[in-house]
């Protein structure tokens, strides 16, 4: 036994260098992933999907049939004012309702059926009649993400206001000298005839966190799976006798049961899959039963929750088994550091820099969030994110199995056992 005082290890340069490099890199990476993704969403925004509807039936104006709604939607579609930031999708009212109800649109601009007739009525306003102002409807969609809905609302409102001014110029030119016969209020309205109203295009239940419960529920599933993997990995190692287990002042150590790395991962994964039934149940009980989160399709929500925890946990177990001690840092970066900014919940994928959009294609949190959104907000429609969620979780599970068992099988074949064959096993410590 050495007589060196324990605090002397603080003089060891490798301790400071290793600790400094690992923690410094971790701090830098988390800053880049978290802050970098959200510095300028509006500046990075590209092709944010927004609906554009012309329901206007047109009306006679100056002896000819006119459809101002068609002119507005066409001018917005062809406008270069927003560059490629907004992807205007021309569709009818039914299609817009369906797309908002699947989270595929962040908002919409709707020209109502009586728009042209309401505009023409302004030119016939008399002094004893209050002018009625036509409206352009801006629809929001918080269920697709509050920030994305806000960006869409800003762009759509601006487009509607510009369209109103453009129509005003045309009306002013058409009426000409007749304007002098109109009341002052009507002349003011002719210059900017349309009011812009903002409505919720896909209302959510009150206990839906303004469209964020799906994200936080999905994040809970991933974190539970990730942390459980760390616990299960340690408990399996203790059960096999590879590590001791400190319980307060007591140190427990079981007799060594030799197991290959492949066998250890198989044992851990089996335990994770079984315990996911318990964890998925308790997550749903906590969120829905105790906290009162609005949710429907409860059997499907439970099944998806169990699967998400199992896949996240087995994926984390694989990284822990392959990378060893640094594995938990890798797990944290993959399942939290790179996942949260690319989940498409706080910042839409369309408003992320290109690198983050690439990560979003396979990061597990985005896929799980999409599936939970579909279940909670979109009546569990497959093309609202649920099918993608199932497919990507299955692909993730297959990838984890191939990577984990492939690499660990290679370790075993090379004789890279955790305790070399022939080495004397560590003697169990006597409990204090």
Residue 316 in contact with residue 335, Cβ under 8 Å?
Answer: yes
DSSP structure class, residue 417: -
Residues written for the chain: 432
Amino acid 165: pLDDT: 84
Whose tokens are 């728009």? That residue is 115
Q: Is 2 exposed, middle or buried (0-12, 13-18, 19+ CB in 10 A)?
A: exposed
Amino acid 306: pLDDT: 97
Partners of 246 in the β-ladder: 251
Nearest to 317, CA basis, from 237, 384, 432? 237
Amino acid 187: pLDDT: 62
Strand ranges for 68-142 from DSSP E: 86-90, 107-111, 135-140
Nearest to 231, CA basis, from 139, 316, 351? 316
- Nearest-10 crossing angle of helices 213-239, 261-284: 140
- Nearest-10 crossing angle of helices 386-413, 364-377: 150
Amino acid 430: pLDDT: 44
Residue 352 in contact with residue 147, Cβ under 8 Å?
Answer: no
b/e burial code for range 234-249 (CB count within 10 A of at least 16 → b): eebbbebbbbbeeeee
Amino acid 432: pLDDT: 41
Alpha-carbon gap, residue 71 to 167, rounded angstroms: 9
Alpha-carbon gap, residue 170 to 119, rounded angstroms: 11
Nearest to 154, CA basis, from 238, 86, 55? 86
**Quick one: residue 112, left, alpha or beta (phi over 0 = left, psi -120 to 50 = alpha)?**
beta
CA distances to 25, 164, 314, 325, 330 from 321, rounded to whole Å, are 22, 62, 10, 9, 11
Alpha-carbon gap, residue 211 to 145, rounded angstroms: 6
Alpha-carbon gap, residue 100 to 83, rounded angstroms: 23
**Regarding beta strands 245-247 and 250-252, do their DSSP bridges make them parallel or antiparallel, or are they unpaired?**
antiparallel
Amino acid 193: pLDDT: 79
Alpha-carbon gap, residue 223 to 16, rounded angstroms: 30
Kindly give the confidence (pLDDT) of every residue in the chain, 432 residues in length, as a single tens digit, with 9 standing for 90 and above: 567 778 888 888 888 898 898 889 888 988 888 888 888 888 889 899 999 999 988 887 667 788 888 888 888 888 766 678 899 999 999 999 999 999 999 999 999 998 888 877 776 654 455 556 788 999 999 999 888 899 999 999 988 888 888 887 877 776 655 555 555 556 666 777 788 899 999 999 999 998 999 999 999 999 999 999 999 999 999 899 888 888 788 888 888 888 999 999 999 999 999 999 999 999 999 999 999 999 999 999 999 999 999 999 999 999 999 999 889 999 999 999 999 999 988 889 999 988 899 999 999 999 999 999 999 999 999 999 999 999 999 999 999 999 999 999 999 999 888 776 555 555 554 444
């Amino acid at each position: 036994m050495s007589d060196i005082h324990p605090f002397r290890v603080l003089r060891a340069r490798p301790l400071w260098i290793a600790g400094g490099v690992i923690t410094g890199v971790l701090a830098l990476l988390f800053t880049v992933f978290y802050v970098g993704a959200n510095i300028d969403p509006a500046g990075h925004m590209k092709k944010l999907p927004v609906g554009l509807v012309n329901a206007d039936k047109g009306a006679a104006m100056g002896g000819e049939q006119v459809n101002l709604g068609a002119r507005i939607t066409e001018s917005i579609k062809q406008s270069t004012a927003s560059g490629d930031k907004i992807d205007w999708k021309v569709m009818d009212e039914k299609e817009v309702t369906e797309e908002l109800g699947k989270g595929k649109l962040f908002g919409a601009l709707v020209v109502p059926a009586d728009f042209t007739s309401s505009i023409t009525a302004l030119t016939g306003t008399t002094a004893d009649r209050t002018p009625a102002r036509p409206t352009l409807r801006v629809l929001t969609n918080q269920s697709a993400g509050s920030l994305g809905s806000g960006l869409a609302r800003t762009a759509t409102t601006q487009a509607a206001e510009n369209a109103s001014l453009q129509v005003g110029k045309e009306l002013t030119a058409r009426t000409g000298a007749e304007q002098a016969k109109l009341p002052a209020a009507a002349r003011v309205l002719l210059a900017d005839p349309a009011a812009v109203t903002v409505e919720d295009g896909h209302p959510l239940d009150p206990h839906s966190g303004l469209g964020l419960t799906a994200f936080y529920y999905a994040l809970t599933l991933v974190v539970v799976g990730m942390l459980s993997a760390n616990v299960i990995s340690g408990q399996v190692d203790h059960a096999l006798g590879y590590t001791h287990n400190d319980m307060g002042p007591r140190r427990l150590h079981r007799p060594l049961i030799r197991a290959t790395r492949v066998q250890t991962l198989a044992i851990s994964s089996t335990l994770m899959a079984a315990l996911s039934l318990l964890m998925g149940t308790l997550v749903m009980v906590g969120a829905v039963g105790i906290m009162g989160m609005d949710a429907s399709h409860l059997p499907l929500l439970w099944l998806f929750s169990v699967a998400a925890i199992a896949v996240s946990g087995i994926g984390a177990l694989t990284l822990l088994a392959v990378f060893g001690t640094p594995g938990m840092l890798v797990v944290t970066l993959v399942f939290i550091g790179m996942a949260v900014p690319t989940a498409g919940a706080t910042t839409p994928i369309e408003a992320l820099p290109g690198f983050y959009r690439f990560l979003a294609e396979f990061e597990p949190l985005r896929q799980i969030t999409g599936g939970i959104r579909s279940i909670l907000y979109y009546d569990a429609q497959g093309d609202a994110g649920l099918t993608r969620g199932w497919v990507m979780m299955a692909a993730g599970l297959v990838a984890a199995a191939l990577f984990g068992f492939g690499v660990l099988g290679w370790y075993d074949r090379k004789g890279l056992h955790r305790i070399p064959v022939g080495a004397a096993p560590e003697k169990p410590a006597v409990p204090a």
